Chain A
Amino acid sequence: MIKFVLMVNRQGQTRLSRYFQPVELSRRAALEADVVRCCLSRKKDQCSFVEYKDYKLVYRQYAALYIVVGVTDSENELSVYELVHNFVEVLDKYFSRIMFNLDRVHIILDEMIQNGHVVETNRSRVLAPLTALDKMVD
Chain B
Amino acid sequence: MSDVVEKTLTALPGLLSLDSQPGSTKLSSSSKLGNLIRGITELTSKHEEEKLIQLELTSIKEQVSSPNTSMRQMKELMVRAIYCEMLGYESSFSYIHAIKLAQQGTALEKRVGYLAVSLFLNESHELLLLLVNTVLKDLQSTNLIEVCMALTVVSQMFPKDMIPAILPLVEEKLNHPKEIIRRKAVLALYKFYLIAPNQVQHIHNKFRKALCDKDPGVMTASLHIYLQLIEENPEGYKDLTTSFVTILKQVVGGKLPMDFNYHSVPAPWLQIQLLRILCLLGKNDQSTSEIMYEVLDESLRRAEINHNITYAILFECVKCIYTIHPKSELLEKAAKCIGNFVLSPKINLKYLGLKALTYVVQQDPKLALQHQMTIIECLDHPDLIIKRETLELLFRITNAQNVTVIVDKMLEFLRVNKDDYTTIDLVGKVAELAEKYPLM
Chain A residues with CB under 8 Å of chain B are 7, 9-10, 13-18, 22, 25-26, 28-29, 45-54, 62-65, 76-79, 81-83, 85-86, 88-89, 91-92, 95-96, 99-103, 106-107, 110-111, 114-115, 117-125, 128-129, 132-134, 136-137
Q: Which of B79, B217, B311 is within 8 Å of A103, CB to CB?
A: B79
Q: Given the complex, which residues of A lie within 8 Å of B267, measured CB to CB?
A: 121-122
Q: Does B194 contact A (CB under 8 A)?
A: yes
Of B56-64, B293-301, B383-391, B401-409, the one with at least 4 CB within 8 A of chain A: B383-391
Check B12–A62 contact: CB distance below 8 A: yes
Q: Given the complex, which residues of A lie within 8 Å of B259, measured CB to CB?
A: 122-125
Q: Does B226 contact A (CB under 8 A)?
A: no
Check A46–B383 contact: CB distance below 8 A: yes
Q: Which of B111, B191, B268 is within 8 Å of A133, CB to CB?
A: B111
Given known A29-B88, A46-B385, A129-B180, contact A81–B308 (CB-CB < 8 A): yes
Given known A124-B259, A129-B145, contact A76–B107 (CB-CB < 8 A): no
7 inter-chain pairs at a CB distance below 8 angstroms, sorted by A residue, are A28-B86, A51-B419, A82-B268, A100-B18, A110-B152, A119-B224, A136-B107
Check A136–B14 contact: CB distance below 8 A: no
User: How many Å from the CB of A103 to the closest CB on chain B?
Assistant: 5
Instruction: Work out how many contacts link A and B, with CB atoms closer than 8 A.
Output: 194
Q: Given the complex, which residues of B lie within 8 Å of A13, measured CB to CB?
A: 40-41
- Which residue of chain B has the shortest Cβ distance to A19 in the bound complex? B119
Considering only residues 212-260 of chain B, those with a C-beta below 8 Å from chain A are: 217, 220-221, 224, 259-260
- Which residue of chain A has the shortest Cβ distance to B386 in the bound complex? A47
Check B108–A136 contact: CB distance below 8 A: yes
> Measured between alpha carbons, how far is A106 from B190 in the docked complex, in Å?
21
Given known A22-B122, A102-B33, A103-B112, contact A47–B8 (CB-CB < 8 A): no
Q: Does B269 contact A (CB under 8 A)?
A: yes
Check B14–A51 contact: CB distance below 8 A: no
Considering only residues 1-51 of chain B, those with a C-beta below 8 Å from chain A are: 5, 8-9, 11-20, 26-28, 33, 40-41
> Measured between alpha carbons, how far is A133 from B110 in the docked complex, in Å?
10
> Measured between alpha carbons, how far is A123 from B262 in the docked complex, in Å?
9
> Measured between alpha carbons, how far is A100 from B106 in the docked complex, in Å?
21
Given known A51-B421, A99-B14, A110-B156, contact A133–B145 (CB-CB < 8 A): yes
Check A125–B217 contact: CB distance below 8 A: yes
Check A9–B422 contact: CB distance below 8 A: no
- Which residue of chain B has the shortest Cβ distance to A56 in the bound complex? B385
